[in-house]
Amino acid sequence: MKFKNLLPLLILAVNFSFAQNNIKVTTNYGSKNAEIQNLIDFEKIYFEQFNFEGKYLKGKQYVINLQEFADGKLINTSLLFDGREADFFKIKSNKESLTFLFKVADGKLKTSIRGVKFGSKKSYFDLKSDSDDYTLKDFFGNKTELNIDSNQETPILTIITPTKHPDGSASYCEVVQSDVKPENLGTHFKIPHYFLVTIQFK
């Protein structure tokens, strides 16, 4: 009887812990101006604003990494931004917005991050396939918002090549809208090279 009662209590404790650390995430992608959007699409430039909201965000800082995968294995993790470097980057309220900028061209991935009052350094990473094969995708699918645990390192974006089918067709959306964990996408969909952008609040 004691063990039967213990399981519901453990579930409640886990749910309460997640609720305390829960962060709602929404996004705004690209430009509202169609002509500008056409131009940046042509130049393989991507930018997406992420809006984070949660009761326990205030006073926290964030760490953003870029994980690189090849042949299904994590081969490198690069720090894109570390908000713990200065108190200036501490979140002042229960809301925070960050814009992620990428350019995929000439065999390179170029990255930068902008907040309300700062811009990160630009970082560059080598591509292993043709630049035109890569695109930026988030993990929202048909959802308008997601919920993440602030204590966990969470993938929010991927720069990825498509999964290819025997009939010659290819798909990006099939990959990012699946239930497969982001770190397993390469193995499951036979994608030779991709990147994950992750965030964690500390």
More confident residue, 142 or 59: 59
**Percentages of the chain per state (helix, strand, coil), in multiples of 5:** 25, 45, 30
**Non-local CB neighbours of 177 within 8 Å, separated by 6+ positions:** 141, 142
Task: Name 59's bridge partners.
Answer: none
Please say whether the beta carbons of 30 and 43 come within 8 A: no
Chain mean pLDDT for the chain: 87
Looking at residue 78, its amino acid is: S
Tracing tokens 């969470």 back to the chain, one arrives at 154
Which secondary structure element, helix H or strand E, spans residue 3, and what is its range? helix 2-21
Say yes or no to pLDDT of 18 above 80.
no
pTM of the prediction?
0.85
- Read off the pLDDT of each residue in 75-90 and give the average, rounded to a whole number: 92
Backbone angles phi, psi at 188, to 5 degrees: -65, -40
Which pLDDT score, from 0 to 100, does residue 14 have? 45
What are the pLDDT digits (tens) for 140-182?
A: 988 899 999 988 999 999 999 988 878 877 788 788 888 889 9
Say yes or no to pLDDT of 10 above 60.
no
Cα–Cα nearest to 195, from 82, 85, 113, 108? 108
**Non-local CB neighbours of 98 within 8 Å, separated by 6+ positions:** 49, 50, 52, 62, 64, 113, 114, 115
